[in-house]
């Protein structure tokens, strides 16, 4: 619930992505989002403290993740990293080395076999994914490729992507239609700011992407040089091999 906790993050200090409007309304929207993250962090800390007090912390694998990226236009519901790149934080004292940050590609489809292996249980052949326990325990390289999709989220979409450590390919259907925002985003203050600039024809290149019709059937990005995924390289002959 908005503003249910005292403000801990100041609107003037938040980072505004290039695909959003840098105005007071969007900054307050982002600050509220940061406040929710702060509140959640405190709740997770209390849960970890309870495990410690009950003497179960060292025998518990804690996995923290989310179902999508930041809940803002241009992120949630898209196949850009801002939408599909999610937190994955694991704690298992004595097994997983603390404080390690990894750039390995991992996928939540691998969570079920990971938990089964950690518990010493067999992984049924019908389970999708593969255990990433070795990646967590030995800081392994992860997957060479990860895949994702969007199908239904308030409206019908048909979008697919494949990504490796450097490149991403997205395929879009229904290109004659504008991108289908999840309904909660289309009622957010940051969306109203985008609509206001659209009516004034003052959107920048990154902000206009929300409204492009027809959409490209294929999008291809070099994530090393373009981490924001703004420069579509699909159709460039020098990238045909990739």
In the predicted model, residues of the chain with pLDDT beneath 50 are 1-3
Q: Give the pLDDT confidence score for residue 5 in this predicted structure.
A: 52
Please state whether beta strands 156-163 and 167-172 pair in parallel, antiparallel, or not at all (unpaired): antiparallel
Q: Give the pLDDT confidence score for residue 8 in this predicted structure.
A: 82
Reported as a single tens digit per residue, the pLDDT across 159-188 is: 999 999 999 999 999 999 999 999 999 999
Buried (b) or exposed (e) across 94-120, using 16+ Cβ within 10 A?
Answer: eebeeeeeeeeebbbbbbebbebbbee
Q: Give the pLDDT confidence score for residue 2 in this predicted structure.
A: 46
Q: Give the pLDDT confidence score for residue 1 in this predicted structure.
A: 42
Entry pTM: 0.91
């Amino acid at each position: 619930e908005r503003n249910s906790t005292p403000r801990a993050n100041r609107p003037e200090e938040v980072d505004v992505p290039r695909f959003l409007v840098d105005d007071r309304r969007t900054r307050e929207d982002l600050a509220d989002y940061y406040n929710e993250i702060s509140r959640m962090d405190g709740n997770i800390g209390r849960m970890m403290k309870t495990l410690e007090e009950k003497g179960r912390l060292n025998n518990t694998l804690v996995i923290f993740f989310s179902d999508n990226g930041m809940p803002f236009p241009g992120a949630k519901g898209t196949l850009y990293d801002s939408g599909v790149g999610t937190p994955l934080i694991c704690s298992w004292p004595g097994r997983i080395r603390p404080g390690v940050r990894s750039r390995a590609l991992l996928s939540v489809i691998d969570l079920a076999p990971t938990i089964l292996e950690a518990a010493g249980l067999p992984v049924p052949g019908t389970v999708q994914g593969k255990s990433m326990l070795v990646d967590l325990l030995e800081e392994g390289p992860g997957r060479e490729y990860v895949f994702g999709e969007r199908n239904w989220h308030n409206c019908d979409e048909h979008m697919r992507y494949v990504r490796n450590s450097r490149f991403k390919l997205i395929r879009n259907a229904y290109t004659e239609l504008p991108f289908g925002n999840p309904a909660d985003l289309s009622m957010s203050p940051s969306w109203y700011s985008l609509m206001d600039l659209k009516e004034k024809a003052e959107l920048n290149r990154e902000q206009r992407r929300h409204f492009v019709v027809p959409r490209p059937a294929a999008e291809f990005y070099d994530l090393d040089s373009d981490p924001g995924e703004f420069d579509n390289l699909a159709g460039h002959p020098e990238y045909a091999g990739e």
